[in-house]
A and B are shown apart, each in its own frame.
Chain A
């Protein structure tokens, strides 16, 4: 079954450390997305990608980098993690705004 898999499921990081969140999709979708979810803010778009080698800034990209080395994989990188980046992060794949999207189960990140 086509799916979006995120790893790790939970992560504790220290302030100033580097964090990499990984996402793999088997949907063969061109587009992949990273969102963060905080109480009172819904899901906010951080970065997205149209295909291997491409990354685009979403609405809240500051403090985050993204990497799309292949059709299947999309990573979110926090070079210098801060406590304000404590959140739940979701990856999704889709073929465009008028297509089906599939979300992963999320990564819960705590920065201390």
Chain B
């Protein structure tokens, strides 16, 4: 079974709108990372949020972490067509392992 998983397979919003991708995980973690993968490319790290942090921002991106409910969210404001991609959460463990969820496909419509 997945140690980390996003809660939606796919989301679609219009350009300029905001969108949130949610992630849940099953065990104690060191950190949680959010990645974006565009078609034909490798994943690119967006935000790393450590287990003692509750929120992290990177430009239009905002990640939250709730260790009590073992969940995280990634919000994107003022979406653009170039935000179209698959978004992954990945949970990090003391051994250095990084385990990925199955990803949420986000489509931004013009």
Instruction: State whether the Cβ of A96 lies closer than 8 Å to any Cβ in chain B.
Output: yes
Cβ of B96 and Cβ of A50 under 8 Å apart?
Answer: yes
SS of B interface (majority)? loop
Q: How many CB-defined contacts (below 8 Å) exist between A and B?
A: 65
Instruction: State whether the Cβ of B41 lies closer than 8 Å to any Cβ in chain A.
Output: yes
Category for how many chain B residues contact A: 20 to 34
Instruction: State whether the Cβ of B106 lies closer than 8 Å to any Cβ in chain A.
Output: no
Interface residues of B (CB under 8 A from A): 2, 29-31, 33, 40-45, 48, 50, 88, 92-103
Cβ of A105 and Cβ of B48 under 8 Å apart?
Answer: no
Interface residues of A (CB under 8 A from B): 4, 31, 33, 35, 40-45, 48, 50, 56, 58-59, 90, 92, 94, 96-106
Q: List 11 A-B contacts (CB under 8 A).
A: A4-B42, A41-B102, A42-B88, A43-B88, A45-B98, A45-B99, A90-B42, A97-B94, A100-B45, A100-B48, A101-B98
Cβ of B102 and Cβ of A40 under 8 Å apart?
Answer: yes
- Distance, CA A50 to CA B101, complexed state (A): 23
